[in-house]
Chains A and B, each alone.
Chain A
Amino acid sequence: MGKTDIGPPEQPGRRRGAWARGYELLAGLELAFALMVLLGVLVALRALVAQRDMGLRQANAFIRWATSLSPEDPSTLVWPTVAVLALFVVNLALSSVEMTRKALLKVRALTAPRPVARFPAVTVKEGLEGGEDAGDRVERFLRARGWRVRRQDAGGEVRISGTRRERGHWGTLLFHLSFFVILAGAAVSLLTSFTGYFELAPGESFVERSEAYLRRTDTPLLFPGDRGFRVELEKMDLTFWPEGGVRDRASWIRLHDAAGVLRARARLAVNSPVSFDGITLYQASKEGFIAGITVKDSAGTTSRGILHFPFPVHPGDPMQTTVQLPGTALVLAFELHTGLLARIANLTGERHEVSLMKVFEHRGPRSRPLGVVFGGGEVSFEGLTLSFDSLKPYMSFAVVQDHGVPVIFAALAFALAALLALYFWVPETMWAVAAPAAGGGVRVLVAGSTERYENAFEARFREMLSELRAELARR
């Protein structure tokens, strides 16, 4: 069986120049295939880097060996990836020109009725016998089975073409064009994306300015200015499952625009971000308690700091953190116990307002206890005095701006639709010519062709031809 010929015939004796050969190479499917292999290998190496960094638990020798293939410095993958992607874009652009040409040729040239001498290379071809009205019968037969039929009466012959799913010819081109839109979206994302993080305790506000963020990415080239909106944390919403484990963590916030007008009161949670004025506000992953401490040595040198204690997974678990005192090798571990957690999480049972920290000298698995300090109090050890000055809960938030994302997702949706068309809206074409036979009667030559799944098409087409044969033989 063969595919339908759609390209112009090569002129014999004409040698292709270097430019033409280069164009063919750059636009070719073989190059696309090779680039996909390279991209797949680069992505696999990146996966191995992530595996190595995250650690393997009791992995077998093969997995350890495979992971060891990853480069020590992941940045070594950047330039090869950029080079492959650049070549990919060139290949995509040039091959899109070819795909457009082929699609136009298929749509225009293949759907018209044609004489037998101009039947293209086809999947199936068969001859049938019929009466004088064979052409009419073939036309009715095909229409009844959902084919789009075109007819031409010429020189005593009835020439018929039938098509199904004609628009499927554009599937390949549209799928590949969507990659350009994705790349355009990625470019927009590169120019406009920005992420900043801030923390708030209940009752506190954050006024959006680039220097107000705790951490932030570089200022984007487009839409770089401060927005000046204000986020106020009204209340924290933290719940645990009865058997333990965090059930929900969320924040009730009020959003005011730059003029101070209240624009929204919303519940911000994991999986429930809030969009506002071109940015999206997310509930970030860090929340817990911030303890303010002061450390004084015997010489009177004072150092103030804050400790972050993440909320526990189970409400009864201690909250822990470690810190190295500046200018010393002393690492202190802290364990926080506070009744505030029960209040925030609306836990039942006995509640109290006491907060205390247990202080340890951190020495790996064997830590040495140094003392206990209550909120507002102080504890002394090894010539140092540590005071527990303040304690407040906090939630962290992320502000994200990225105007490329909607473009990318629109392109992805388009690509999926094109893929569905490409593989499940496969065009089928058939031609028939009914002409008087030399010995009387009418001979009908029928041929059929498809873009894909030729074998299954051949089986179905032959079944259809059997039915057509029976129809033509019917009196």
Chain B
Amino acid sequence: MADKVLLFVVIGCYVASTVLFAGLTLSDRRGLRRGALAVATLGLGLHAVAIGIRWAAAGHGPYINTYEVLSSNAWVLVLAFLLLQLRYGWVTSLGPLVMAVAFLMLGAGLMGSEEVKRLPPTLQSSWLIVHILFAKLMVTSIALASGIGIVFLIKERRREQPAWLARMPAPAVLDDYGYRLVAFAFITLSCMIIAGAIWANASWGSYWSWDPTETWSLVVWFVYGLYLHGRVTFRWRGRISAWFVVISFCLLLVAFFVLPYFVRGQHSQYMTG
């Protein structure tokens, strides 16, 4: 219960941060930037405390049901955003998008059941933590790459650019950053699938059982493999690259966050409980 109350405060922080980042986009005031980052960091810290409280109460990490999965996904996304903007200042221009996605994800998680579920024997494995860690890194990387793709498409189309858009790197450089993020996501997706297979064998006695969630993750792997191949084979750059990343992110969302609610499987029962 305490974690749920705290999460409502966190949502407030993320909403406030979204508004401040949006204000920064429109007015380019330095104070707004500092304020937006401070509020986002405060929210992140409180969010970590909420996850910790939940972890202590449940006896396991945040990966069993919708409430926990979406909450932890939002936390990783905000963390990645704040770390990247330290290295690449222009990333703050993605703030309104990232923080909005974070509070919407958190809100959706809070609408799910927050009943504490104990870990069954199949989930008591350190490979689960490895699998989940790479899954979250993958989703975060693809989300950021999609955000960059959207910004690329906007920047490329507009001749007269507002200040926030003009501050972003040139479209060609954005294209490179998006490419690098997708490459990172492809590697983490590969690690996620491999860790999952090792764990599945120890738990279910089979490395691969054509479970729908397992199989769709392989389809997503092929999709991003095609992207990386297309960049070499057909020299995909710019607009086609950005559209591919954005559309394939939608496929990823359907495969990992929509289908499990409709398909009964060994894997989906734990994600959507």
Question: Residues of A with Cβ closer than 8 Å to B?
Answer: 29-30, 32-33, 36-37, 39-40, 43-44, 46-47, 49-51, 54-60, 63, 195, 241, 243, 245-249, 269-273, 282, 284-285, 398, 400, 405, 409, 412, 415-416, 419-420, 422-424, 452-456, 459
Contacts and interface: CB of A to CB of B under 8 A. Distances in A.
Q: How large is the interface on B (under 10, 10 to 19, 20 to 34, 35 or more residues)?
A: 35 or more
Interface string B214-243: 011011001101100110111000000000
Contact of B212 (A47, A398, A416): A47
B175 A455 contact: yes
Contacts of B161: none
A247 B123 CA distance: 10
Contacts of B216: 44, 47
Interface stretch (B43-51, B75-83, B262-270): B262-270
Given A54-B264, A270-B121, A405-B207, 19 more contacts: A29-B233, A32-B229, A33-B230, A33-B233, A40-B223, A47-B215, A47-B218, A47-B219, A57-B263, A57-B264, A247-B118, A269-B121, A272-B202, A416-B187, A423-B186, A423-B187, A424-B184, A453-B179, A453-B180
13 contacts: A29-B232, A47-B212, A54-B212, A55-B264, A58-B262, A60-B262, A270-B202, A412-B190, A419-B183, A422-B183, A423-B180, A455-B176, A456-B173
A418 B227 CA distance: 18
B121 A271 contact: yes
A419 B121 contact: no
Contact of B194 (A245, A247, A412): A412
B264 to A, nearest CB: 5
A455 B177 CA distance: 9
Nearest to A31: B233
A314 B232 CA distance: 55
A137 to B, nearest CB: 29
Most buried by A among B122, B169, B222, B265: B222
B219 A59 contact: no
A271 B125 contact: yes
A43 B226 CA distance: 14
B219 A270 contact: no
> Top 8 A-B pairs ranked by shortest CB distance?
A40-B222, A47-B215, A423-B183, A455-B172, A59-B262, A29-B233, A270-B121, A271-B125
Interface string B151-175: 0000000000000000001101101
Nearest to A59: B262
Contacts of A423: 180, 183-184, 186-187
Contacts of A51: 212, 259, 263
A30 to B, nearest CB: 6
Contact of A63 (B187, B232, B262): B262
B233 A43 contact: no
B120 A246 contact: yes
B203 interface: yes
B227 to A, nearest CB: 10
A248 B121 contact: yes
Contacts of B170: 455, 459
Contacts of B117: 245
A271 B263 contact: no
A285 B118 contact: no
A50 B266 CA distance: 11
B232 A247 contact: no
Contact of A285 (B127, B180, B205, B225): B205
Contact of A419 (B175, B187, B202): B187
B124 A270 contact: yes
B81 to A, nearest CB: 19
A50 B212 contact: yes
A106 to B, nearest CB: 15
A56 B226 contact: no
A48 to B, nearest CB: 8
A271 B199 CA distance: 7
A29 B235 CA distance: 11
Most buried by B among A50, A272, A400: A50
A459 B219 contact: no
Nearest to A58: B262
B191 interface: yes
A54 B263 contact: yes
A241 B118 contact: yes
A271 B124 contact: yes
B139 to A, nearest CB: 18
B4 to A, nearest CB: 19
Contacts of B119: 247
Contacts of A400: 205
Contacts of A420: 187
Given A271-B124, A455-B175, A243 B118 contact: yes
Contacts of A415: 190
Nearest to A269: B121
B202 A57 contact: no
Given A245-B120, A400-B205, A455-B173, A33 B263 contact: no
A398 B80 CA distance: 43
A412 B177 CA distance: 26
A98 B229 CA distance: 16
A81 to B, nearest CB: 12
Contacts of A454: 176
A272 B122 CA distance: 10
Most buried by A among B125, B210, B234: B210
A270 B212 contact: no
A401 to B, nearest CB: 13
